[in-house]
Structure 1
Amino acid sequence: MPEIRRLPDDLVNRIAAGEVVERPASALKELVENAIDAGAANIAVRLAAGGLDLIEVTDDGCGMAPAEIALALERHATSKLPDERIEQVATLGFRGEALPSIASVARLTIESRARGEGERAGEGWRRVIDHGALAADGPAALPPGTRIRVEDLFGKVPARRKFLRSARAEYAVCLDIVRRLAMARPEIGFTLEHDGRRVLAVQPGEDAAARVARIVARELADDGVVIAAERGAARLTGVAGLPTFNRGVADHQYLFVNGRPVKDRLLIGAVRGAYADMLARDRHAVLALFLQVPPEDVDVNVHPAKTEVRFRDPAFVRGFLVGALRHALDTAGQRSAQGPAASAMANWQVEPVAPAPAAPPPPRGLQSLFAREYSAPQARVGEAGQAWRGYDEAIMAPPAARAEQAEAEPEAAAQYPLGVARGQVAGTYIVAEAQDGLVIVDQHAAHERLVLERLKAAGAGEAMARGQALLLPEVVELEETACDALEDKAGELARFGLVVERFGPSAMLVRAVPSVLGTSDPGALVRDIADDLAQNGDALLLGERLEHVLATMACHGSVRAGRALSVAEMNALLREMERTPRSGQCNHGRPTWVKLAHHDIEKLFGRK
């Protein structure tokens, strides 16, 4: 048997670096978190070649005395755990591995000067560690705070360096790290420079929602809703984009737990569930959510990079997030993230002029009144790229629109958010006049949302979930752990109409399935739910399938495009949209209405 031996310190540090320092962004994250924990009010970051050549983080925090600098470079030495109660940790970093790990695979320079009075106050100090070896140690001139430089990352570990991506790709990850930390701490100012160019600058003391909109997308200020919810000791704040303000990828979802940026599957699943019937499956919400829970209710010590967490009560957390998000989106009413497209506006403003046909000569009497021959003007009003040809039906087809005499307009009609119907275009779009502009409504998309909300309010979801007993119960073989998870959730699944029971150590017996899903393949349904439980820890998939059936029923039961509506029917549809939550988007995440504001209309005619 080989002899058991202790590993040397330099090898231990390099092994730890493999867990903590995967790439430049990993080192940057640790350094910025240290600056935040030091009580900094301003943090400046400088990068060169995406962090491959240089990472520099400067803060105006509490600083360190010379002895503390030396101690900070030892393994598992930290000031962030005053006692052994690791479950009560309130700082971002606490392992004490970051600095020695980084110093073992790069040239690390620490310059710091303690802030305060007494023994800690004094001159600045500088210490340089080159790939694990002490290179310099002496006084330094700098204001109170700390400056850390990381150069030549993995310079002496070529096997690690060759696995890094290009400088541009590494810079993108570093930028994402700084953006997330800047959103988590609106009370701190951040600047980021890359290759001498400033790419991010936010001032300290900003409002959290304003900072999120500034960093994520400025449109969030108008196309988002503010989240503020509490349940017991848990609190959720942040900004969530309207369903119609979405992205094709999920990289604009920022989640924080107790001020710590995380990428947690439970929280991501909760977001997906909250937007389930408001977004298409290939679209993703834009949001930043900040969850605060008691430290003892969340374990942040489950991953070396501290990007994953584990909750004591995951079902409570998921239900809280879904409920808070849905409530906030409901309060948005009929709001929709939309506006006239720039290309559409350009089409209105630029009209190609067709050559004017030769005009017939005027009567002889008129010729005698003019000194020169009469000619038709060359500039004409264009319509759909063609010269205006008049109203002769033999030449020009009638417009694809209809209008009728409107009923007597009530006094408060101008105060309706979606205005008063004035006509219908192409049998599909309702044109309404609002107090502040022109509103165009997609009648099918709008009615589709209204029907879905009616079905939910009438308890159609519960009726759909009634189980249909199988003539012959089906046995589905699964792994034992999957059977355990299904058995634990059997009561909840029965509420959806799926009745299962344990049938031996590695099989489940399916006795009934939701009636609307049919009995074509109960085994596939149970396997999908088992996979969903393994991934998300809750029965999400079955509920989403039922929601999808409801949405399909609403789509087929709604007013179709091409159906002529009377003015009274149009106004009734508008009024119901104003009363119905989430009516700004259809069940597939598309907007149900757009508005052309007065100033946009004035631009079309050159008034502004």
Structure 2
Amino acid sequence: MPLIRRLPENLVNRIAAGEVVERPAAALKELVENAIDAGATRIDVSLVDGGLTRLEVTDDGCGMTAEDMALALERHATSKLPDDAIEQVSTLGFRGEALPSIASVSRFTLESRVRGSEQGWRKVVDHGALVADEPAALPPGTRVRVEEVFAKVPARRKFLRTARSEYAASLDVVRRLAMARPDIAFTLEHAGRRSINVQGGEAIATRVSELVARELADNAVPIELERGGMRLSGIAGLPTYNRGVADHQYLFVNGRPVKDRLLTGAVRGAYADMLARDRHAVLALFLDLPPEEVDVNVHPAKTEVRFRDAAGVRGFIVSGLRQALSTGDRRSAQTPDAAAMGRWQSEPAREEPAAALRSIFDGRDWGAPQQRVAAPAMPYRHDTGEVIAEPQGRAEVAEEATQSYPLGIARGQVANTYVVAEAIDGLVIVDQHAAHERLVLERLRAAGAGEAVKRSQALLLPEVVELGEPDCDRLEAAIGQLGELGLVIERFGPDAMLVRAVPSALAKSDPHALLRDLADDIAKHGEAILLGEKLDLVLATMACHGSVRAGRTLSVAEMNALLREMERTPRSGQCNHGRPTWVKLSMEDVEKLFGRH
């Protein structure tokens, strides 16, 4: 029988490092969190080769004495848990593993000075061995330098990525922590360039826009909601302002950056009928709730959490996001596309009118007041040379004041697809099909069509679907929720489910494939949201088929009716697939096209 023995301290630290410090960015996260917990008002980060060669974190926090530094380098020694109530922890760090773990797999230099003391202290640990313990000169605060990560652990070193990849991961870490604490100033330097430089004391919306994208401030809505001890704040990008990947979703729980499946699923649910499935929202959500309602001690890296009332948290986030988006639901991402603007061609300046225009100007009395005359109805020629009759929807005279309507007054129709309107502050172009598609969807919902598609259709013969026992357990736990959506199932032995009825809108779907997808959905997100999305897709499809098609000629009255209904309808700024229904070209941009500015 093999003997049971205690592992050496250095080996224990290396094992812990495998969970805490799998790459330089992970070490950087721990060090910046320590600086925040130390009460710093400014944190400076410096990287060489993405952190592979060196990373350094300097703060102006409370600092440590030589004795405290020695304790900090021991495992499970921390100042952040004054008692045993780990469920009440309010700091980012609390496990006491990070510093000894990092020091066991790198050349680690820790320098610190307590405010008011005459000198600081330095400790240098080379891959677990203390090699320097001496006084040091530095300002009040702490400076930590990590060099040659995994240099003596080649099995781990070979799994590290390129310097560029490691830098991208480190940038993401600092960006998220800087968002979480807009009261702290942050800088990040790499390869002689300062990529992050934000000042302390900023508003959350300002800090997020600085770190994510400047245009986010103009294409997002603020979030502020409180309910039963929970508070949700931050900013959410309009559905029309989206990305192809989900790496611009920043989620925080009690000030801690997290990557949580439940929160991600809640975001997807809130945007479900406003984004295409391959597009993702851009947002920063800050969820605050009593510490005892969330378990942060789930994983050594502390990026995962577990909620006591997961369903309540998800519902709170979905309703908070939908409520916030409804305040900007008629807006659309309005940043003009630079490439599209660049395609406008200017007529070269001439001293005299062109030959084709000379007859218009000949004999004109420029001193006399000019009377506005409606343009004659004339055919126009398409690029292909085909002569096309004049559209019926040509607006000739403005009967109403444009300032009365946010989307202006219709002036005409282009290509029988786009409505052109004049607003007080610019030109509005509306995609008639996309806009009407959203209006029809909202009408269907208001009329109860959403409930109609959830009605059950009983199967002539109940269908047995064989699945693994864990999948059956997940589906059995969700029987009540699935029944509300029209899917009636029951347990049929340890590894099978019996399907008695399906939503009428999905009557032609394969029950086996449907249950497999739902089981995977629950495993991934902790809740069956896929069925709701499928039903939303049915409604969206119905709306698409019932809306005005591109290529249809509209009268002036129809165009104006469309504009007025868009102004009254929730979420009219984007179609059911997340694309904008209208865009605006400001008068300033129009004047620039003609060289007036």
Q: Which residue of 2 aligns with 1:202?
A: 198
1:188 is matched by which residue type in structure 2? I
Aligned to 1:555: 544
What residue is the counterpart of 1:71 in the other structure? 71
Query: 2: CA distance between counterparts of 1:481 and 1:520?
Result: 23
Counterpart in the other structure of 2:574? 585
In 1, distance between residues paired with 2:324 and 2:39?
Answer: 33
Measured against aligned partners, the alpha-carbon deviations of 1:244-285 in whole angstroms (never above 9, x if no partner) come to 101111111111111111111111111111111111111111
Q: 2:232 aligns with which of 230, 233, 236?
A: 236
Contact 2:346 2:594 in 1 (8 A): no
Give the superposition deviation at 1:424. Answer: 1.2
Residue 464 of structure 1 corresponds to 453
Aligned counterpart, 2:362: none
1:153 is aligned to 2:143: no
Q: Is the aligned partner of 1:606 residue 2:577?
A: no
Q: Alpha carbons of 1:46 and 1:171: their partners in 2 closer, same or farther (altered >3 Å)?
A: same
The 8 Å contact of residues 102 and 108 in structure 1, kept in 2 or not, is answered as: yes
> Contact between 1:258 and 1:292, CA under 8 Å: does it hold in 2?
yes
Q: Is residue 92 from structure 1 mapped to residue 92 from structure 2 by the alignment?
A: yes
Deviation of the 1:341 alpha carbon: 2.2
Change beyond 3 A, Cα 1:48–1:594: same
Superposition deviation, residue 160 in structure 1: 1.2
Q: State yes or no: 1:479 paired with 2:475.
A: no
Equivalent positions of 1:26-425 (< 5 A) are 26-115=26-115, 121-350=117-346, 397-398=387-388, 401-404=391-394, 409-411=399-401, 413-425=402-414
Return the alpha-carbon distance in structure 2 between the equivalents of residues 300 and 488 of structure 1. Answer: 25
Q: Is the 8 A contact 1:249 1:284 kept in 2?
A: yes
Aligned mates of 1:173, 1:426 — CA distance in 2: 47
**Superimposed CA distance per residue, residues 128-157 of structure 1 (whole angstroms, 9 cap, x where no aligned partner):** 111111111111111110001111111111
SS of 1:455 mapped into structure 2: helix
2: CA distance, partners of 1:481 / 1:263:
24
Tell me by how many angstroms 1:208 deviates. 0.7
Structure 1 unmatched ranges of 5 or more = 354-358, 360-389
- Select 2:417's aligned residue among 428, 434, 450: 428
User: What's the CA shift for 1:34?
Assistant: 0.3
How many residues end up aligned between the 2 structures?
570
What SS is found at the alignment partner of 1:16?
A: helix
- The 8 Å contact of residues 400 and 425 in structure 1, kept in 2 or not, is answered as no
What SS does the aligned partner of 1:349 have?
coil
CA positional deviation for 1:182: 0.3
CA deviation after TM superposition for structure 1 residue 520, in Å: 4.0
- Distance (Å, rounded) in 1 between the aligned partners of 2:414 and 2:5: 83
Structure 2 unaligned regions, length at least 5: 350-354, 356-377
Structure 1 stretches of 4+ with a deviation exceeding 3 A read 349-353, 390-408
- Deviation per residue, 1:552-584 (Å, 9 max, x gap): 000000011111111111111101100111101
Shift of 1:347: 2.2
CA distance in 1, matches of 2:338, 2:525: 41
Give distance in 2, aligned partners of 1:393 and 1:185: 60
Secondary structure of 1:542's partner? helix
- What percent of counterpart residues are identical? 74
Shift of 1:196: 2.4
SS at match of 1:581: coil
Q: CA deviation at 1:338?
A: 2.9
Tell whether the 8 Å contact from 2:61 to 2:140 is kept in structure 1 after alignment.
Answer: yes
* 2:47 counterpart letter in structure 1: L
Cα distance between partner residues in 2 of 1:134 and 1:213: 43
- Kindly indicate whether the alpha-carbon contact (under 8 Å) linking 1:242 and 1:336 is maintained by their aligned counterparts in 2: yes
CA distance in 2, matches of 1:516, 1:191: 54
SS at match of 2:165: helix
Q: Deviations over 1:412-433 (max 9, x none)?
A: x422100011111111111111
Residue 182 of structure 2 contacts residue 201 of structure 2 at CA under 8 Å; is this kept in 1?
A: yes
Partner SS state of residue 387, structure 2: coil
- Using the TM superposition, give the Cα deviation of residue 77 of structure 1 relative to its aligned residue in structure 2, in angstroms: 0.3
Cα distance in 2 between the residues matched to 1:282 and 1:400: 39
Asked whether the equivalents of residues 379 and 390 of structure 2 are also in contact (C-alpha less than 8 Å), the reply is no
Q: Tell me the residue number matched to 2:10.
A: 10
Contact kept in structure 1, 2:469 and 2:494, CA below 8 Å: yes
Equivalent residues of 2:249, 2:281 under 8 A apart: yes
In 2, distance between residues paired with 1:502 and 1:158? 51
Q: Distance in 1 between matches of 2:398 and 2:447?
A: 33
Distance 2:292 2:122 in 1: 38
Paired AA for residue 17 in structure 2: A
Contact map agreement 2:442 2:569 (CA 8 A) in 1: yes
Separation of aligned partners in 2, 1:550 and 1:344: 33
What is the CA RMSD across the aligned residues, in angstroms?
2.0
- Matches of 1:98 and 1:559 in 2, distance apart? 60
Structure 2 residue 523 is the aligned partner of structure 1 residue 523: no
SS in 2 for 1:303: coil
What SS is found at the alignment partner of 1:219?
Answer: helix
**How far off its partner does 1:10 sit?**
0.9
TM-score, normalising length from structure 1? 0.91
In the alignment, the residues of structure 2 paired with residue 392 and residue 321 of structure 1 have an alpha-carbon distance, to the nearest angstrom, of 53
- Report SS of the residue matched to 1:483: helix
Corresponding residue SS for 2:94: coil
Deviation at 1:198, TM superposition (A): 1.3
- Matches of 1:145 and 1:340 in 2, distance apart? 46
Question: 8 Å contact 2:472–2:496 — kept in the other structure?
Answer: yes
TM-superposed deviation, 1:531: 1.4
Give me the whole-angstrom Cα distance separating, in 2, the residues matched to 1:565 and 1:232: 50
- CA deviation map 1:486-529 (0-9, x unaligned): 22221211111111111122211111000111144112111211
Describe the SS at the equivalent of 2:547: coil
Shift of the 138–392 alpha-carbon distance from structure 1 to 2, 3 Å rule, reads closer
CA deviations on 1:161-207 (whole Å, 9 max, x unpaired) are 11111111111110110000000000000001112221110001011
Distance 1:520 1:63, change over 3 A: closer
Decide which moves more: 334-343 or 436-445: 334-343
CA distance in 2, matches of 1:244, 1:170: 31
Select the structure of larger CA radius of gyration.
1
Q: Find the residue that maps to 2:321 and give its secondary structure.
A: helix
Q: Residues 123, 500 of structure 1: CA spacing in aligned structure 2 closer, same or farther, 3 A cutoff?
A: same
> Residues 393 and 95 (structure 1 numbering): CA distance in 2 closer, same or farther, change over 3 Å?
closer
- Corresponding position of 1:564: 553
Secondary structure class of the residue paired with 1:240? strand
The question of whether the paired residues in 1 share the 8 Å contact of 2:395 and 2:410 is answered with no
Q: After superposition, what is the alpha-carbon deviation per residue over 1:60-103, rounded to whole angstroms, capped at 9, x for unaligned?
A: 00000111011110111000000011111111011111111111
Q: CA deviation at 1:480?
A: 2.1
Q: Structure 2 CA distance, aligned partners of 1:81 and 1:224?
A: 38
Partner of 2:20: 20
